[in-house]
Structure 1
Amino acid sequence: MKKLYGAAILGALILGGAFFSAPDAMAKGKMLDPANGADALEIMKRTQCGEADGVPAVYHWAGNVYSRIAGEPDRLLFKGEGMNIRQCVRVEDPVRGVGYRQVSREVMLYLDPKTGKVLRRWDNPFTGENVEVMQIANDPVNSRPSYPKNADGSDYSLPELRQQGDWLFMPVEVPLFYHNVLAGDYQDFVGNKYHAMEIFDFTMRASEILDPKSKTAYPSISWVRISDWMPWMKMRGRQGQMVFNAMGAKLKNFDELPSVLKDEIKLNYPEYTSPPPGDDPRPNETTWTVFKKMIDADRAKKKEAAGK
């Protein structure tokens, strides 16, 4: 997922399975207080992470992918099945306190909307061309460390948290607008920047996530993504966007994933059965960076073959 949510990087210190919990609430036996920086961080950690530092957590989502083009009805292009496997590790800062860093990798499969099978090739209805489908397989999708204190000295705070009865709702909206690795060096002047919006809406029980005795929580999630066409679709600058809409939840373990994901991971992405190491230093990947590497490698191979 993302990504899904933004994602990010930096070194971390793994403390063999140690569970970080908000000290104030634990000491006093009170429910976690979202207005307290350390408690707010613990709430976010329970939303994102496994039962203990270094213990994997798995998110699953499934839904639909549509086209949106001005002047024509939206079209259902694909079904989608995705997963993200992550772990959280303890990090310490002498000023900002004890926090965590999340490391992950994720897969999302494009499925035939009629058969539900994984698409290998796709008849593009807009261009008439048959193209090879590149599934989403981003490794890594890591996050910057989070601490009870922010870099400016303020307390860590949640993006938003709403309670209705025993239900807590936490929307996370991520507008993205940055350099597109597939475009040129003049994007500030002629456009073509990477432009997308990721929306993650978490729903969880207050009685679970706010209880200091809980090791983690198992929220449900909805994910909406609005973005440009995928590069493998070869749309050649056509006007329009893609809209992804999916729902899912954090699972107890990898085995709870549906067979279509487990079978494809076993076949083509065997490393996705576990998260990256906690001190993973690599830059994050996206469909755009992965596609660029694939195209560059293919061009280099063809150039070498032509020179022989």
Structure 2
Amino acid sequence: MSRRNTLKLLGAGALAGLAEKVPAAGRQAFDFDDPADNLRGFIKMTSSLADEPIVGWYSGMVFGNVPGEILKPLFWLEGFGVGETVRQPDGSYRSSWKEVGYYRDVETRRILEDWRNPYNDELCDVMHIHNEAVNTVYSTRFPELPPLSETSDFEMQFPNYTRTGAEFVLPWQVMDGHITLWNDFRGKIKNVLDPDVWKRESTGDYIRVTEMFQFVGDFEQFTDPNRDQIDYTGAWNRLAPWLPWMLMGRHPGELFYRCTTTKVAKFEDLPKDIVAYTEKHYPQYLDYETPWKMPNESSWEVYMKEREPAP
């Protein structure tokens, strides 16, 4: 399913067309215009309605994007997350998630311990992704957040493109027996790495991050009332500042991530070197326990806890 086809959902006419996709007899009806149906459909596709843990895998390439230059492949990225989504008494869903990700050499794909930065020729000590709390609550409304100010450290926008309010209505498409969905957030967040202290690690006072997810599943599975989750393949794209361990400071540019995603049945289905590296360095990520923990910790906060400012 091409990105171009997915973009056709942005008009109100696309949603009207979706309403014509009526499931066959014995299938579960789905109203693409109803926030409650959108919420249940989103959880069914991306997680599970049965309050059970799932494992998600991702793999792709990270590129450097410097103004005026062709994108430069910097390293592969591969990892996984585990979590569960539990329905709450008010009808919302509480999602608990933890994740790891490992940077790999572009040519050999070996997991990196250090990396030669092509922009400054510095040998950098790699810090792999290990986030213990990537948690959120999903409801029939997106969070209504204030703009950045002295009392608000972040601003976020969500993909309910056909709505002027905060209703949880997503851009779906049904095509040739498949159902597709994309979900994204576009945000600007106060940088916990003070540029006056973390002179080589910090890219500035604020971090601009965009994450875009696409999911493609089987429409028959999606409308099967006996299924609590469905299989999917998907994509994760991300625009974000240079990673702190790259020691880029305020060098112009950013990172672009392009990854494939899917669910796997169990940890043993993951690549063997990923499992072995996790067993050695982050064994707590190889269990299905994902206790609810707030606030979340970003990779920048983990870096601040575990590293010192570079000389």
User: Which TM-score tier does this pair reach, normalised by the shorter chain?
Assistant: 0.7 to 0.9
Matches within 5 A, 1:92-103: 92-93=89-90, 98-103=91-96
In 1, the alpha carbon distance for the partners of 2:127 and 2:282 equals 13
TM-score calculated relative to the size of structure 2: 0.76
RMSD, matched Cα: 2.6
| Correspondence for 2:42 among 24, 34, 44 | 44
How is 1:1-308 mapped onto 2 (pairs within 5 angstroms)? 30-50=28-48, 52-53=50-51, 55-93=52-90, 98-144=91-137, 146-148=138-140, 157-183=168-194, 192-278=205-291, 280-295=292-307
Where structure 2 has 5 or more consecutive residues not aligned to the other structure, the ranges are 1-22, 145-164, 197-202
Distance 1:70 1:36, change over 3 A: closer
Structure 1 unaligned residues grouped into runs of 5+: 1-24, 300-308
Partner of 2:7: none
Q: Is the 8 A contact 1:138 1:286 kept in 2?
A: yes
Give the distance between the partners of 2:70 and 2:236, measured in 1 at CA. Answer: 22
Q: Does the aligned pair in 1 maintain the 2:96–2:134 contact within 8 Å?
A: yes
**C-alpha separation in 2, matches of 1:71 and 1:29:** 52
Once residues 156 and 212 of structure 1 are traced to their aligned partners in structure 2, the CA distance between those partners, rounded to angstroms, is 24
Determine helix, strand or coil for the equivalent of 1:215.
coil
CA deviation string 1:80-113 (max 9, x = no partner): 11211111122112xxxx2321100011110001
Distance across 2 between alignment mates of 1:162 and 1:212: 19
Q: Aligned in 2, Cα 1:127/1:49: closer, same or farther, shift over 3 Å?
A: same
CA distance in structure 2 between the aligned counterparts of 1:40 and 1:271, rounded to whole angstroms? 33
Q: TM-score, normalised by structure 1?
A: 0.77
User: Higher relative CO (CA 8 A, sep ≥ 6), structure 1 or 2?
Assistant: 1
Sequence identity percentage: 26
Q: In 2, are the aligned partners of 1:64 and 1:245 still within 8 Å (CA)?
A: yes
Matched residue count: 260
Please report how far the alpha carbon of residue 276 of structure 1 lies from its aligned counterpart in structure 2 after TM superposition: 4.4
Q: 2:280 & 2:204 partners in 1: Cα distance? A: 39
* Contact map agreement 2:27 2:223 (CA 8 A) in 1: no
Q: Which moved more, 1:72-81 or 1:106-115?
A: 72-81
